[in-house]
């Protein structure tokens, strides 16, 4: 039977203290015990329904973690105060001084800085490779490699990771595959494809309202227990605790993720095709020219589309800067970093979210100064949106006269028609 992550979330029922349809928010940092013996036992191991201190667990965070575990088909999850906290804690649990990490070369700039600049101070080194080149990945792996790290869809070039193949390579070399699935929640299920752990920045699509910063890691019961070990767990000892009020808000938003993601995908697909027809270089796994389009079709869960992110190269930094300013003036969306918001967000990654990556490395990976990353919003009428965008392009000298409108792309919310996003091949 096909795995449906949205149904798994839908079937998660967590009642509040008085039968509330929303779980009660536990606004407490510490918890009382009826006996000293029970308090001492709580320091030794988790006990169902028993809480000690909110840096360990609290009931609200526990409920959100349980829903996320169901979504990713994992045994357990841990919610944290940011996506970077989830990534850092996971890698520090798996690696010690002298260990090595092999990572995809196109990753989020903060992740790159962690791997390239901070972890070496603790004796943990990273080799960055093109994950699409199996020989290069295999050559980078050594007996000291503890983690193979990738993004399911890379930021910002949207390269799709062959997670089953990477999993086999990791297992072959005694390493663990860690996958950042921030760009493709519901769309891809990395644990089912062979990953050991999945991390998310819940700041993005999972929350969807750009009003908080949060992260999570989903894995086995044993791994989450290790993260929370009182004596040696990175999550426990670094203390990246997610506030319970925010956790409750994210849990409510999680239940609409499938609806939002379908619309994000429809709108992004429409925009990607329009940009392509205008003669621009477009990165989007939903168009047939994308190098991993058919891989994506094999790996994806049906029904959610190809994601809400589109990357477009307009040729130069000056062109990109002028284009983005004009789009904001024309109310297309916001010139802002981050993604997954209900409004369209756009930024030039080379000078923002990927600026930590050296310019020569960005050039090698194909991330030019004219690249713009769009997080496409939930617009009801994409023809109207495209009209505003094409007007901005025309002002900059880009000929958009041959671009079609009103065809089989998703132009309006009422015009839904199934696309290849509903095709699933194994």
pLDDT of residue 43: 80
| Spatial distance between the Cα atoms of 194 and 187, rounded to a whole number of angstroms | 15
pLDDT of residue 357: 66
| Residue 19 pLDDT grade (very low, low, confident, very high; cuts 50, 70, 90) | confident
Judge whether residue 353 has pLDDT over 60. no
Q: Residues 122-142: what's their mean pLDDT? A: 97
Q: Among 17-21, 203-207, 381-385, name the one with the lowest average pLDDT.
A: 17-21
| Residue 418 pLDDT grade (very low, low, confident, very high; cuts 50, 70, 90) | very low
Q: Residues 179-192: what's their mean pLDDT? A: 98
Question: pLDDT tens-digit profile of 278-325?
Answer: 999 999 999 999 999 999 999 999 999 999 999 999 999 999 999 999
Query: Could you give the maximum distance between any two Cα atoms of the chain, in Å?
Result: 77
pLDDT of residue 412: 47
Q: Which one, of 98, 78, 81, lies nearest residue 229 by Cα? A: 78
| Spatial distance between the Cα atoms of 314 and 397, rounded to a whole number of angstroms | 11
Higher-pLDDT residue of 14, 340: 340
- DSSP annotation of 368 reads -
Q: Residues 104-127: what's their mean pLDDT? A: 95
H-state helical runs in 156-241 = 163-172, 221-227, 234-238
Q: How far from chain centre, in Å, is Cα 357?
A: 19
Which two structure tokens, joined as six digits, stand for 295?
Answer: 């891989």
Q: How far is CA 388 from CA 64, 310, 373, 382, 400, in A?
A: 39, 17, 17, 10, 12
Structural contact between residues 205 and 340, judged by C-beta atoms closer than 8 angstroms: yes
- DSSP annotation of 92 reads H
| Spatial distance between the Cα atoms of 314 and 194, rounded to a whole number of angstroms | 37
3-state secondary structure (DSSP) of residue 98:
coil
Q: Residues 339-362: what's their mean pLDDT? A: 77
CA dihedral 156, 160, 166, 168 (to 10 degrees): 160
Q: Going by DSSP bridges, is the β-strand pair 145-151/197-201 parallel, antiparallel, or unpaired?
A: unpaired
Judge whether residue 426 has pLDDT over 50. no
pLDDT of residue 231: 92
Judge whether residue 25 has pLDDT over 50. yes
pLDDT of residue 351: 61
Judge whether residue 367 has pLDDT over 90. no
State what percent of residues in the chain have pLDDT above 90.
77
| Spatial distance between the Cα atoms of 426 and 424, rounded to a whole number of angstroms | 7
Which two structure tokens, joined as six digits, stand for 316?
Answer: 């130069």
Judge whether residue 420 has pLDDT over 60. no
Q: Among 185-189, 296-300, 304-308, 419-423, name the one with the lowest average pLDDT.
A: 419-423
| Spatial distance between the Cα atoms of 382 and 404, rounded to a whole number of angstroms | 12
Average pLDDT of the chain, as a whole number: 91
pLDDT of residue 49: 78
396-422 burial by CB neighbour count: b if 16+ within 10 A, else e?
A: eebebeebeeeeebbbeeeeeeebbbe
pLDDT of residue 422: 38
Judge whether residue 354 has pLDDT over 90. no
Question: pLDDT tens-digit profile of 223-250?
Answer: 999 999 999 999 999 999 999 999 999 9
For 251, half-sphere exposure in the C-beta direction (CA atoms, 13 angstrom radius) is: 29
At 355, give phi and psi (nearest 5°): -65, -20
pLDDT of residue 352: 53
pLDDT of residue 64: 97
A 10 A CB-CB count for 210 gives: 18
Judge whether residue 11 has pLDDT over 60. yes
| Residue 42 pLDDT grade (very low, low, confident, very high; cuts 50, 70, 90) | confident
Judge whether residue 423 has pLDDT over 50. no
* CA distance between the termini of the chain: 12
Q: Which one, of 19, 21, 3, 18, lies nearest residue 251 by Cα? A: 21
pLDDT of residue 270: 97
Burial of 242 (0-12, 13-18, 19+ CB in 10 A): buried
Q: Structure pTM?
A: 0.92
3-state secondary structure (DSSP) of residue 162:
coil
Q: Which one, of 2, 72, 132, 7, lies nearest residue 425 by Cα? A: 2
pLDDT of residue 198: 98
Q: Residues 208-236: what's their mean pLDDT? A: 96
| Spatial distance between the Cα atoms of 160 and 183, rounded to a whole number of angstroms | 10
- DSSP characters over 374-415: EE----SBHHHHHHHHHHHHHHTT---TT---SSSS--BGGG
Judge whether residue 362 has pLDDT over 70. no
Residue owning tokens 């003669």: 279
Residue 29 makes CB contacts below 8 A (sequence gap 6+) with 53, 54
Strand partners, 335: 346
| Spatial distance between the Cα atoms of 204 and 375, rounded to a whole number of angstroms | 10
| Spatial distance between the Cα atoms of 315 and 339, rounded to a whole number of angstroms | 23
| Spatial distance between the Cα atoms of 234 and 292, rounded to a whole number of angstroms | 35
pLDDT of residue 401: 79
Q: Among 37-46, 159-168, 321-330, 393-402, name the one with the lowest average pLDDT.
A: 37-46
Ordered domains of the chain (ranges, CATH): 5-254 (3.40.640.10), 258-422 (3.90.1150.10)
pLDDT of residue 262: 98
Strand partners, 345: 334, 375
């Amino acid at each position: 039977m096909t795995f449906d992550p949205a149904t798994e979330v839908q079937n998660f029922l967590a009642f509040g203290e008085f039968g509330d349809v929303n779980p009660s928010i536990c606004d407490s940092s510490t918890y009382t015990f009826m006996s000293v013996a029970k308090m001492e036992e709580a320091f030794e191991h988790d006990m169902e329904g028993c809480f000690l201190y909110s840096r360990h667990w609290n009931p609200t965070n526990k409920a959100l973690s349980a829903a996320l575990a169901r979504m990713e088909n994992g045994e357990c999850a841990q919610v944290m105060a940011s996506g970077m906290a989830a990534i850092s804690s996971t890698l520090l649990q798996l690696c010690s001084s002298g260990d090595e990490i092999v990572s995809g070369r196109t990753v989020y700039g903060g992740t790159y800085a962690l791997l390239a600049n901070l972890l070496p101070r603790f004796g943990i080194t990273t080799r960055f490779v093109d994950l699409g080149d199996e020989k290069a990945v295999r050559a980078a792996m050594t007996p000291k490699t503890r983690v193979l790290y990738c993004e399911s869809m890379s930021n910002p070039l949207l390269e799709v990771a062959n997670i089953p193949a990477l999993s086999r390579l990791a297992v072959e070399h005694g390493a663990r595959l860690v996958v950042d699935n921030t760009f493709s929640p519901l769309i891809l299920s990395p644990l089912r494809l062979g990953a050991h752990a999945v991390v998310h920045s819940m700041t993005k699509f999972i929350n969807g309202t750009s009003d908080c910063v949060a992260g999570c890691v989903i894995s086995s019961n044993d791994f989450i227990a290790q993260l929370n070990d009182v004596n040696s767990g990175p999550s426990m000892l670094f203390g990246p605790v997610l506030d319970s009020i925010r956790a409750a808000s994210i849990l409510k938003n999680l239940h609409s993720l499938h609806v939002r993601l379908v619309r994000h995908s429809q709108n992004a697909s429409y925009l990607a095709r329009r940009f392509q027809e205008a003669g621009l270089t477009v990165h989007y796994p939903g168009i047939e020219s994308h190098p991993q389009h058919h891989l994506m079709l094999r790996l994806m869960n049906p029904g959610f589309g190809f994601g809400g992110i589109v990357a477009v190269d307009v040729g130069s930094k000056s062109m990109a800067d002028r284009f983005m300013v004009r789009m904001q003036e024309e109310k297309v969306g916001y010139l802002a970093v981050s993604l997954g918001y209900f409004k369209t967000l756009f930024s030039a990654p080379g000078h923002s979210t990927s600026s930590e990556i050296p310019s020569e490395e960005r050039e090698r990976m194909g991330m030019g100064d004219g690249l713009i990353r769009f997080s496409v919003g939930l617009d009801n009428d994409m023809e109207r949106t495209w009209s505003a965008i094409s007007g901005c392009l025309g002002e900059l000298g880009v000929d958009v006269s041959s671009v079609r409108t009103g065809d089989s792309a998703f132009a309006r919310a009422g015009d839904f028609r199934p696309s290849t996003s509903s095709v699933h091949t194994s």
